[in-house]
Structure 1
Amino acid sequence: MRVRPHYASRSRIGIITGSGPEAGVDLWSKILRANRQWFGEDYRGDLDAPEVVIFSVPELGLSMELAANDAQVWQAMQRTATALAEQVDYYGIACNTLNHYADRLAALGLPAQLVSVADVVRDFLADQGIARVALLGARPVMDMGPWSAYRSLPQYADIELPADLDALHQVIYDVKQRGGDAPDVVARFDAVLGSLRADVALLACTELPLIPCRRDIPRAIDVTDLLASALARLSLTPRPSRAGAGA
């Protein structure tokens, strides 16, 4: 029998969003769903929901062109994470590109722990025994260079990238501006999926799951779901002491 954690003793969860703001809403919704799944039929409503703090910062939207905006984006990220860490125990960033700053954020020694989406994805691939995967995201992510949070992923799996990185980058811009259900956006993304050889595709951009997928192959994995599951699980743990939370 599961022990029901008391709401007052549960760890507090934070979300940093703004690139784009809908991504934060999406992550929050998926945290709530993962939390409800953990309780199952024992879920009793509000008192079993996690405590969540969300900071939505429009300036973080400059991350789409991260190489050109690094200094400004990092200042906004550092300021936001520092303020959020005073209110939560664990936090996630609702943007794959912004997870580039995971190491810099860890070096700040904040009293809250970042749950890196790249670490969550790595653990998922190992757990599922997935050796080959397509990586779909914004250009800074797919370049697999110093700006990519996934730059170490080829150590754990064979990575396939779409043939036209700029085309997918533009699809993401269009989702931000027009929504994921625009017919031409759906068609262009469907074409990207159809061109892949890998059986599994990581949707490593928070805008991509907002596009209705018309293909079952490749198997599309929403990395936001993986992050939400990890954060929901951590919310069920007792609150760490503030002295050791940033260790």
Structure 2
Amino acid sequence: MQFNPASRKKIGIITGSGPEAGIDLWHKLLQANRELRGNGFRGDLDAPDVTILSEATLGLSMELEANDAAVWKCLRTTAEAIAERVDYYAIACNTLNYYQPQLEALALPAKLVSFADAVRDHLRANRIGRVALLGARPVTDLGPWSHYRKLGAEFAVELPGPAQAEQLHRLIYDVKAQGGNGPGIRERFLEILDALDAHTVLLACTELPLIPRVDGRKRLVDVTALVAHKLARLANGMQPE
């Protein structure tokens, strides 16, 4: 595969919700870039150009409806700043991608690569019609604050029951505080997975892929990895698949 250095693009990552989300996306972007370039990867000069801006205020997104004004003010300022340095950017938080329409309305010089769009493209490409959705409360209720509402018109989306949804929301808070290897976190995550009927499960929260898991119980789709793959292609001047 030939790469034209002149067509390379700069990538931005907005993070802060949660503490490790931006690092995880950056790491997966580097992995995707290395895989894309294959044996031709030479190291430093073939790595993507990445700008990262981390704002702790964005962590208020876990209770988005109550913190809308503060979160949007912070996100808009951060997006405007990063867009001056990059060609494409992603927000390392499934919940914050709710603001995709508002961000696109700003007509910034950089283009947003959204999480739900990456999921939609993946499901279409793999002809997956039914999925379960796991994420923070603003995501999984598929209500007016959910970035993933658009999936409901095209795919059958299974949501966790009320008790599981509350357990999941608390689990995400605990991963933010303790990390994916915190006491009992893996076991609690597996209990939530086992309560789902769908075989394919979207990990629509940047904390969930940080939890060690048992392969084979479900087909787990790491949404962060999907976005990283798209960013890697864009960084190399290629169109997303």
For normalisation by structure 1, the TM-score amounts to: 0.93
Distance in 1 separating the partners of 2:116 and 2:43: 31
Alignment of 1:127-166 (within 5 A): 127-163=125-161, 164-166=164-166
Task: Give the alignment's Cα RMSD to 1 decimal.
Answer: 1.0
2:78 aligned partner, one-letter code: T
Q: Following TM superposition, by how much is the alpha carbon of 1:214 offset from its aligned partner in structure 2, in angstroms?
A: 2.0
Match of 1:245 in 2: none
Q: Secondary structure at the match of 2:68?
A: helix
Alignment correspondent of 1:80:
78
* Cα deviation, residue 9, structure 1: 4.6
Where does residue 123 of structure 2 map in the other structure?
Answer: 125
After TM superposition, the structure 1 = structure 2 runs for residues 1-247 of structure 1, keeping only pairs within 5 Å, are 2-6=1-5, 9-163=7-161, 164-237=164-237
- Give 1:182 shift: 1.6
Runs of 4+ in 1 over 3 A off after TM superposition: none
In the TM superposition, residue 55 of structure 1 has moved relative to its aligned partner by 0.2
Q: Is the 8 A contact 2:19 2:176 kept in 1?
A: no
Question: What's the secondary structure of 2:121's corresponding residue?
Answer: helix
- For the 8 Å contact 2:134–2:160, the answer to whether it is kept is yes
Measured after TM superposition, the shift of residue 154 of structure 1 is: 1.0
Alpha-carbon separation, structure 1, partners of 2:9 and 2:33? 13
Structure 2 stretches lacking a partner, 5+ long: none
Instruction: Give the aligned length.
Output: 236
Aligned-residue offset at 1:21: 2.6
Q: Measure the CA separation in 2 of the matches of 1:220 and 1:180.
A: 16
| Preserved CA contact (<8 Å) 2:100 2:112 | yes
Letter in 2 for 1:104: Q
- One-letter amino acid of the structure 2 residue matched with residue 232 of structure 1: A
Counterpart code for 1:3 = Q
- Whole-Å Cα distance in 2 between the matches of residues 131 and 88 of structure 1? 35
Percent identity of paired positions between Structure 1 and Structure 2: 58
Checking the alignment, whether the CA contact within 8 Å between 2:203 and 2:209 is kept in structure 1 is yes
In 2, Cα distance between equivalents of 1:172 and 1:45: 35
Q: Does the Cα contact within 8 Å between 2:33 and 2:233 map onto a contact in 1?
A: yes
